[in-house]
Each structure stands twice: as C-alpha cells, then as structure tokens.
Amino acid sequence: MASYRLLIKPSAVKELEALPGKDRRRLVARLQKLSVDARPPGSERLSGHDLHRIRPGNYRILYAGHHQELGILDIKVGHRRDVYR
C-alpha cells in the first residue's frame, strides 16, 4: 500500500492549535490516517470542487489529494458551520 505525504498549510496548523484538546487529538488522528489511505471510509468528494472531506464529529477536514506526487495538499480544518466558507 502506498504511503502519502501530508503537507499541511500553516493556516491549518493554526486552526488545529485553536481547538480544544480532545477535538484536536481526534482530528490529528484522522489526519495521520490520511497518510495511509487518501480515501478513507466515509470520505466524500465535494461537488464542484477538487476537494474531499472527512467528518470527525462537528469538525470537517477538507483536503485535495494528488496521486501523481503521492501527496495530500491544501488541508483545511474547521467547525462544520465555518469550514465551507
């Protein structure tokens, strides 16, 4: 199975650091799983965009995968009411 590089933008790191500890740990665990499987069960492609999303709890992780480079780029993390804006 291929391994993927996670390239997390500084803005996504700031979004993660602003979250409460329990939620942050859950989101970091889901991000680490993305390095093994770019399309985990429950991930969906957003219509009209080249993005996928996973939904841990009330938060969303939006990401774009590039299989040619075996990397996942453009990660955005946030609460479900704000992340799509």
* 21-53 tens-digit pLDDT: 999 999 999 988 888 888 888 889 989 888 889
Rg of the chain over Cα atoms, rounded to whole angstroms, equals 12
Residue 75 burial (C-beta neighbours within 10 Å; 0-12, 13-18, 19+): buried
Could you give the CA distance from residue 54 to residue 20 in angstroms, rounded to a whole number? 19
Angle in degrees, 0-180, between the axes of helices 10-17 and 21-34, rounded to the nearest 10:
140
Per-residue pLDDT at 75:
77
Residue 58 DSSP code: T
Could you give the CA distance from residue 57 to residue 59 in angstroms, rounded to a whole number? 5
What are the structural domains of the chain?
5-79 (3.30.2310.20)
Mean of per-residue pLDDT scores for the chain? 83
